[in-house]
Amino acid sequence: MSVLRSLENLNFDNSFARLPERFYQITKPQPLKGAHLISFNAEVAALLDLDPCTVTPEVLAQYFGGQAPLPGSEPLAMKYTGHQFGVYNPDLGDGRGLLLGEVLNQAGERWDLHLKGAGKTAFSRFGDGRAVLRSSIREYLAGEAMQGLGIPTTRALCLIGSDDYTMREGMEPCAMLLRVSRCHIRFGHFEYFYYHRMHDELRQLADYCIERYFPHLAGDENPYRSMYRQVLHSTADLVARWQAYGFVHGVLNTDNMSLLSETFDYGPYSFMDGYQTDYVSNQNDHQKRYAFKAQPGVVLWNLACLGQALLPLVDRADLEAQLECFGGLYEAAELAHYRARLGLFQAHDEDAALVSALKLLMAEQRVDMTRFFRALCRLNGSDAALEAVLAVWPEPAKVTDWLLQYQARLGREKIDAAQRQVRMLAVNPKYILRNYMAEEAIRAAHQGDFEPVNDLMTLLRDPFAEQPGFERFAGQPPGWAESICLTCSS
């Protein structure tokens, strides 16, 4: 029988805080003025064995607006380094967030609680340690959007607003977000100890990660090599999922890469409205280092940085052999996700060419891939279904040959059309978190109206359902959406 707990009685077991202090700096959150609850995520509360009936907006604002310490927590700022836009930066670390601790639930799962926007730390450099409401809303929504799509991600328990302001794109209201994740260890944690030649601490960090995240590898001949292999495999699948759903991270620095291959540290991300291989979601990325088409290569580069940091523990030849596997792993994973979206449940040799041709067509016409795949689910031989598919394409005549090849390929499947439709509708969302949707919610929140944020949370948790009342979000984005500008402050 499960037993739910109050916030004051969560089952904390703070293993990271038991590591030596050179891994972190003990720091208390700095309270926000007029802290108030904007949104609470009951689904995330369930992960923590937290009884939502025992929490109130006032108590949430008190603990996660920095006014009072959460019982059982041991706040600390984690130290790491990393490569930012390809350049190593030794001065990184939790500059505006604190790891409050780790909750161990009844299922034996360990969940990190990380308070983002908690104020200055030793690693803030020239920053004020604050997060603004705009970026906090975007991260809050992104976690549920990715979770709804089945893409590994961090999430958040609650979002707290305030009466404090700070300078970003003008004066903006401050907020705090309680991020919840299985893991806050970044590639940059390993880089910190490697580049500072602290090899004993590097081994200690690796041992900690194996014990906590990869205990099944502990008996391997070289568990560090096995850990790297598993990270590489899961990261290849993660970026394949991004590519299959048109997600652009925006800031794929090594300090934004999770050891457990969760989508991590949301900044200027985008789900593309129109499929563009060179799409850049971050307007600060003038060299297009993190463009959509570049993401698999950048992730491979980041994995090479992690491998470099593990050289004191793993032979170079073993690491290089693993890196050489990445391309094949990524391509196989991306093809598998496209097959599922296309309703192809058997593998045939021509599938890769069919998918490649589709991607070229989508890029040429900048097609809305979300609306296209959703319409494709109902392709059943009727004229109306075909017209709905063609209506998504600016130049439908150019896609008819591909559709004929696709229909011929469907003829080789062994399941009937009705079964295929059900399975396709379960992986092709009707709704996706578009930039204009987040922007509308942000504008409303700046006026004190938090209902749009909470409505979007409801919508994004089940993006495959019809969701009556939200139909406008399934249509073509408004024209003004193209003018939204996202930067690193987003």
The residues carrying an active-site annotation are 255
* Rounded Cα–Cα distance for residues 463 and 431 (Å): 5
Q: How many CA atoms lie within 13 A of 44 on its CB side?
A: 29
Q: What is the DSSP letter of 49?
A: T
State both tokens at 148. Answer: 């709804």
Q: If you write DSSP's letter for every residue of 92-136 in order, what string do you get?
A: -B-SSEEEEEEEE-TTS-EEEEEEET----TT-TTS-S-EEHHHH
Question: Nearest Cα to 83, choosing from 303, 412, 318?
Answer: 303
Please name the residue that has the structure tokens 């109050």.
6
Token pair for residue 367? Answer: 């097609």
Residue located via tokens 């509360």: 45
Counting Cα atoms < 13 Å in the Cβ hemisphere of 402 gives 21
- Containing 28, the helix (H) or strand (E) segment is none
Distance CA 52, CA 294 (A): 42
8-state DSSP, 169 = S
Residue 316: both structure tokens together: 């170079």
Round to whole Å and give the CA distance between 448 and 452: 11
Provide the b/e sequence for 398-425 (b: ≥16 CB within 10 Å). ebeeebeebeebeeeeeeeeeebbeebb
